Amino acid sequence: MKAKLIKTEHVIDGKEIFAVELTNNQGTYVKIYNYGAIISNFVVKNALGDSQDIVLGFDDFSGYINDDYLAAYPYLGAVIGRYANRIKNGKFNISGKAYQLSQNIGSDTLHGGYIGFDRKVWDILPALGPSLTLQYVSPAGEEGFPGNLTIQLTFKLTAENELILDYKAETNEPTAINLTHHGYFNLATNGGNISNHTHRMPASYYLQQDDNYVVTGVKIPVEGSQYDFLGPKLIGSNWDDQEGYDQTFVLDKEPGELTLASETTEESSGLKLSIYTTEPVAHFYTAKYLAVNNGKKGKNYGPFEAFCVETQHHPNAVNVPEFPTTVLLPGEIYKQTTIYKIEHQ
């Protein structure tokens, strides 16, 4: 495995933007920017022997900061923080103290606020080797969150075609944290609608959402519903083709256990993407709101042309005492691991 540092021509907030390329001896190539910790390329050999990029993005970094892209911002390939998904009314209490966050989607907070970790320039830590470690220090009060939070994210590409994401964070005062990665995947050789991908998730429950997609705290059994992915099925087999999927699934697992979150295959490429995580839930999103012009090779990306599996803690858990806590205290270390493993069927 090798890592290569590439300087771009871009400077944001006085910091240079770099790309880091990770490669292994199976022909797999991953490119990551220190802006937003964006995975911009994830190129693998498919079952036909061809190199295929399985994530949506741009050929050049400038696409990620283009005004048109930011106006319909889908968080392509970025890390999400401080808090993934939605927080009701942008409010929470810790130890009796109330906090008001930025309300960037109606009255709620989405993906950390107006400018989350997805649009920050991360520091590249020394000892660049077969892995890459990025660090971001989020100051107290950023988007309304308490505490100085130091986050490190390590990317490692293995010889077994696993891309491992290891997260670690510490705080100097109690705060809320829920990190995830927002990769948009398409395993088909020519892209397009992902309804013909076969998908499986070991999740017996999904979480109820209100009209603004905020999790309410109620768990609903998947049995007998379109949300039942306990056995493999085509994504489009019984979905609402106007809505697709945008739900959080509670994984059948023990807390902290590194187990399968999802398994997705596609016939034309013969590829299988297995995602493993220590996190308790995975948000499955089929990109209803995707609208991106001039993506890779000039392609436009539209609704249902990708799927996301966002491994995380329960959304809005900071307001739902019954959910596993997302409060991090001084002296504690936040840790999570998510693995993207590529194989042939």
Which letter, b or e, does each residue of 295-314 get, where b requires 16 or more Cβ atoms within 10 Å of its Cβ?
Answer: bbeeeebebbbbbbbbbbbb
Query: Closest by alpha carbon to 2, among 32, 25, 23, 30?
Result: 23
Query: Closest by alpha carbon to 55, among 270, 313, 309, 289?
Result: 309
Q: 98: buried, middle or exposed (CB in 10 Å: 19+, 13-18, 0-12)? A: exposed
d(CA 146, CA 175): 5
Is residue 317 within 8 A of residue 325, CB to CB? The reply is yes
The pTM of this model reads: 0.97
Which letter, b or e, does each residue of 157-168 get, where b requires 16 or more Cβ atoms within 10 Å of its Cβ?
Answer: bbeebbbbbbbb
d(CA 276, CA 261): 5
Is residue 18 within 8 A of residue 124, CB to CB? The reply is yes
Q: Which residue has the higher pLDDT, 128 or 196?
A: 196
Is residue 321 within 8 A of residue 94, CB to CB? The reply is no
The reported pLDDT for the residue numbered 255 is 87
Domains of the chain: 2-344 (2.70.98.10)
The separation between CA 339 and the C-alpha centre of its own chain, rounded to angstroms, equals: 11
Is residue 36 within 8 A of residue 119, CB to CB? The reply is yes
- Overall average pLDDT of the 57-62 stretch: 97
The reported pLDDT for the residue numbered 162 is 98
The reported pLDDT for the residue numbered 178 is 98
The reported pLDDT for the residue numbered 126 is 87
d(CA 208, CA 184): 23
Residue type, 257: E
Residue-averaged pLDDT of the chain? 97
- Overall average pLDDT of the 14-33 stretch: 96
d(CA 257, CA 242): 35
* Local confidence band at 2 (pLDDT 50, 70, 90 cut-offs): confident
d(CA 116, CA 208): 25
- What share of the chain in percent tops pLDDT 90? 97
d(CA 284, CA 305): 14
pLDDT at residue 4 tops 80: yes
Element (H, E) at 138: strand 131-138
The reported pLDDT for the residue numbered 3 is 84
pLDDT at residue 1 tops 90: no
* Local confidence band at 128 (pLDDT 50, 70, 90 cut-offs): low
- Overall average pLDDT of the 224-230 stretch: 97
- Overall average pLDDT of the 205-227 stretch: 97
Q: Measured on CA atoms in the order 52, 5, 129, 261, is the torsion positive or negative?
A: negative
- Overall average pLDDT of the 159-179 stretch: 98
Residues known to be catalytic: 182, 310
Residue 296 φ/ψ, nearest 5 degrees: -55, 135
pLDDT at residue 265 tops 90: yes
The reported pLDDT for the residue numbered 130 is 81
pLDDT at residue 54 tops 70: yes
